[in-house]
């Protein structure tokens, strides 16, 4: 959740500094939305923790 908020703040600051075109060119808003989506999942199928648990 913190990563999504941090990247959203970065996208807003980038929009204020450089205009709306730059964060859209670098997909900062999409990265923020992806981080928010990942923070809503309760378990991750492809996480490193699950990989280590299954191999031990």
What is residue 31's predicted lDDT score, i.e. its pLDDT? 94
What Rg do the C-alpha atoms of the chain give, in angstroms? 15
What is residue 22's predicted lDDT score, i.e. its pLDDT? 94
Classify 34 as helix, strand or coil: helix
- Each residue of 15-52: pLDDT tens digit? 999 999 999 999 999 999 999 998 898 877 777 878 88
Tokens of 44: 């991750």
What is residue 20's predicted lDDT score, i.e. its pLDDT? 94
d(CA 5, CA 28): 12
What is residue 48's predicted lDDT score, i.e. its pLDDT? 80
């Amino acid at each position: 959740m913190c990563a999504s908020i941090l990247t959203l703040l970065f996208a807003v600051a980038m929009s204020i500094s450089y205009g709306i075109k730059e964060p859209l060119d670098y997909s900062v808003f999409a990265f923020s939305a992806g981080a928010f989506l990942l923070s809503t999942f309760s378990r991750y199928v492809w996480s490193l923790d699950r990989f280590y648990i299954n191999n031990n």
